[in-house]
Structure 1
Amino acid sequence: MATVRKRKLPSGLVRWQASYVDGAGKRRAKLFERKSDGEAWLVETSHDLKRGLHTPAGVSPTVKEAGALWIKRCNEKGLERSTVRGYEEHTDLHIYPMIGAKKLSEMTAPAVNAFADRLREEGRSQEMVRRVVRSLGAIFREARRRGLCAVDPTAGLDLNLSTRDDPRPVIPAKAELQAIISNAAGRWRPLILTAVFCGLRGSELRGLRWADVDFEDRQISVTQRADAFHKIGRLKSKAGYRSIPCPPMVINALREWKLVCPMGDLGLVFPTGSGNVESHSNIVQRGFDPIQITAGVVQLREAKGAKGQPVTVPVAKYGLHALRHACASLWIENGMNPKRIQTLMGHSTIQMTFDVYGHLFADNDADQKAAEDIQVRLLGS
């Protein structure tokens, strides 16, 4: 039976004690300064009890305690080390400092919204806010799996973030791609050509094996990847396993490169000098960036000169992932349908393909013809 009774504390203060019996038959209580607050809390608690959505505050872990259980679960599931590290950054840098001491039972949808607002106010980007709230939701889902909370207050939450940012990826122009290819030489040339014409992710390039290059059928099979810690492992999704056709230029460059490629136990196509997994930073800093600067594919950035004076210096314009976007744009321009693009890019859903490259499937000639037809129907000329 739920009751609200007046109590005089040892300190002499008078409080109202709201008590009820939880789903396990154990009596629970909470103190309030006002009777009306206790009664209102009991009404809400009774409602949640009937729906099976109530977790007593006494057994509810803090966000930090639940977060530790989630990270433990991520490690047990064998998630990639870089993925777990990213989750740990979300918890240690963003979640714990702000709400780590709060009980899960205190985190309602308004409380999560307030947390997201605070993240924005303290300078986190919109994308970071989204990622951190997703990680918070994963903490709640793991706690639900363990029976430590009843609801996930992040489910269906509208963070009301701005949608004004241009969602279209940055894609090098054809003239820029031509300049990059012309200036790619040595060990970097076959890698750049494979990235431009086959659209592999950086991790897939670093994990590509000679055994996956079919010179006879002129195609590359993507079967593994190298993570940020240089560990070879499985692809992130089933859709990532795919075969990609290669143009003659790529096949010829790979044939020539194989004759001088450092060989190691891993049999990698683009390894270090000792045959091990190459780092992403080395590919960019020693290969792709210098190629762009030599090719004139640069942007100007403010810096300090030798005497501390402000100077403008040219820096590489694109990251390595831009070559993947360029490949997709070339395939689309050549008339490949969206489903085929999804397969070649290794996207898990067609929606992902449209979200990233939907604007490239537009038919400008057909759109212009439709506009002219509308004018004729309305005005007759």
Structure 2
Amino acid sequence: MSVRKRKWSTGKGVEKEAWIVDYTDTKGVRRLKTFTKKKDADAFAARAAVEVREGVHVADSASVTVVQAGRFWISSAEGARLERSTINQYRQHLDLHIAPLIGEKLLSKLTVPTVREFEDRLRQDGRSPAMVRKVLTSLGSLLADAQERGLVTRNAVREKSRARRKGQERRQEKRHKGKLKVGVDIPTREEIKAVVAVLQGRWRPLFLTAIFCGLRASELRGLRWCDVDMEKKLVHIRQRADRFNEIGRPKSEAGERTVPAPPIVINALREWCLICPKRDAEQKGADGETQKILDLVFPNGKGKVESLGNIVNRGLIPIQIDAGVTVGSGETDENGNAILVAKYTGMHALRHFYASWCINRREDGGLALPPKVIQERLGHSSIVMTMDVYGHLFPRGDDADEMAEAERSLLA
């Protein structure tokens, strides 16, 4: 490997000079790289010498653009049979965020300062801190795939020191979101009572199961009758339906679990079982082929997977309005009366209530379960997640009554 100075004259007689790094790469191919400054040439030569010796050097001419590497990355995800929603998210990150800003840049020229500039541009263009973090994670995964293919030497995202900044961003995001609040994010006991009182028809067993068993919306949509044990009053979560209505395994190993169901849920399911749309049978489709009907507990009218939109728009929202669980929309009707809308817009609010019900003391109408049991009931992959989300709801054990009792015991 050598660094030499080259001088030449243009056709117009202008004198020019540059510094040339002459070296042989890991494949035995001779490479020449030109620099305007000697210090840049020396720095590249030193780095390239180490990379060639370690067998990891990739020349610019052998590299590809970020977009090209992104296509390989998506193909790898499809080959690994990742969930459809995950692959779609990867595509969105690549097409909407990565490609427009750095898509034409060669991987070999993607340095830590370049990644930092990319991060700044994401923020300047209005992306939220959470979205910026997700896009950078995807870019790091893209570069890791490219490294395995020998298309790039360095993973600038992984090299970028993010340990401290990641913690700062998460704390900032938590401050922005705030803790879950009863009556704001979590329905109150009175609101749940009002909702339960108006439940009827096909929505009664579904929402009772959501409220008192804590299943995710995808788990409710994928629940089968064979996974409901009426005698032992247990619900087994063994599959779920994703947002594309495709049946698959739970989100994680912890998601596959068994939760007890109170009598109100079991009784509602017994009644629903008698009138539930046809299940576990076969019928002729429009194309004349035989199609199997899924053995679902909460299917649509044709026995297929019910869409989440229908559950929310035809079930959750009208039920809250009927129950009086509403808030002002900020608008008025033609008579000047405030227009009321449903207070909780997503199914996860019911899951939050189930978590709070498991946490609350028995004298407050709760189950007073230990944190580890609550983690298992919710299907969280770690106790850390459970405590991060719901830790502030656990009784402190130092309220006025308990402090008074402890004082009497101590001084007796």
Please give the TM-score of this superposition, normalised by the length of structure 2: 0.82
Aligned pair 1:101/2:112, yes or no? no
1:311, distance to aligned residue in structure 2 (A): 9.0
Secondary structure of the corresponding residue to residue 286 of structure 1: helix
Aligned pair 1:351/2:351, yes or no? no
Name the residue aligned to 1:242. Answer: 257
Name the residue aligned to 2:179. Answer: 168
In 2, the alpha carbon distance for the partners of 1:195 and 1:9 equals 79
Name the residue aligned to 2:94. Answer: 91
In 1, the alpha carbon distance for the partners of 2:49 and 2:192 equals 65
In 1, the alpha carbon distance for the partners of 2:20 and 2:67 equals 28
Name the residue aligned to 1:295. Answer: 323
Name the residue aligned to 1:360. Answer: 393
In 1, the alpha carbon distance for the partners of 2:231 and 2:10 equals 87
In 2, the alpha carbon distance for the partners of 1:26 and 1:305 equals 76
Secondary structure of the corresponding residue to residue 19 of structure 1: strand
Secondary structure of the corresponding residue to residue 313 of structure 1: strand
More deviation, 44-53/12-21 = 44-53
Answer yes or no: is the 8 Å Cα contact 2:228–2:236 preserved in 1. Answer: yes
- Give the AA of the match of 2:276: C
In 1, the alpha carbon distance for the partners of 2:208 and 2:238 equals 19
In 1, the alpha carbon distance for the partners of 2:270 and 2:250 equals 26
Secondary structure of the corresponding residue to residue 33 of structure 2: strand
1:152, distance to aligned residue in structure 2 (A): 2.2
- Give the AA of the match of 1:33: T
Aligned pair 1:340/2:355, yes or no? no
Secondary structure of the corresponding residue to residue 58 of structure 1: helix
Aligned pairs for 1:161-240 within 5 A: 161=169, 162-163=172-173, 164-169=175-180, 170-240=185-255
1:188, distance to aligned residue in structure 2 (A): 0.8
For each residue in 1:51-109, what CA deviation from the matched residue of structure 2 results, as whole angstroms up to 9, or x when unmatched? 66543222222111111111111111112222211211111111111111112222222
Name the residue aligned to 1:275. Answer: 303
Residues 316 and 371 of structure 1: is their aligned pair in 2 closer, same or farther, counting only changes over 3 Å? same
Q: How many residues align?
A: 372
Aligned pair 1:5/2:5, yes or no? yes
Residues 184 and 372 of structure 1: is their aligned pair in 2 closer, same or farther, counting only changes over 3 Å? closer
Task: Give the percent of matched residue pairs that are identical in Structure 1 and Structure 2.
Answer: 47
In 2, the alpha carbon distance for the partners of 1:10 and 1:349 equals 67
1:302, distance to aligned residue in structure 2 (A): 4.2
In 2, the alpha carbon distance for the partners of 1:171 and 1:52 equals 56
In 1, the alpha carbon distance for the partners of 2:28 and 2:333 equals 73
Answer yes or no: is the 8 Å Cα contact 1:31–1:38 preserved in 2. Answer: yes
Secondary structure of the corresponding residue to residue 5 of structure 2: strand
Secondary structure of the corresponding residue to residue 313 of structure 2: helix
Please give the TM-score of this superposition, normalised by the length of structure 1: 0.89
- Give the AA of the match of 2:71: A
5+ unaligned residues in a row in structure 1: which ranges? Answer: 374-381
5+ unaligned residues in a row in structure 2: which ranges? Answer: 280-292, 361-366, 407-412
1:335, distance to aligned residue in structure 2 (A): 2.1
In 1, the alpha carbon distance for the partners of 2:108 and 2:402 equals 59
Name the residue aligned to 1:127. Answer: 130
Q: Give the RMSD, CA atoms, in angstroms.
A: 2.8
Residues 299 and 153 of structure 1: is their aligned pair in 2 closer, same or farther, counting only changes over 3 Å? farther
- Give the AA of the match of 2:262: P
Answer yes or no: is the 8 Å Cα contact 1:300–1:313 preserved in 2. Answer: yes
Answer yes or no: is the 8 Å Cα contact 1:4–1:39 preserved in 2. Answer: no
Answer yes or no: is the 8 Å Cα contact 1:9–1:15 preserved in 2. Answer: no
Name the residue aligned to 2:339. Answer: 313
In 2, the alpha carbon distance for the partners of 1:311 and 1:59 equals 68
Name the residue aligned to 2:157. Answer: 154
- Give the AA of the match of 1:88: R
1:366, distance to aligned residue in structure 2 (A): 6.5
Greater RCO, CA 8 A, separation 6+: 1
Name the residue aligned to 1:82. Answer: 85
More deviation, 44-53/79-88 = 44-53
In 1, the alpha carbon distance for the partners of 2:148 and 2:297 equals 43
1:371, distance to aligned residue in structure 2 (A): 12
Answer yes or no: is the 8 Å Cα contact 1:5–1:18 preserved in 2. Answer: no
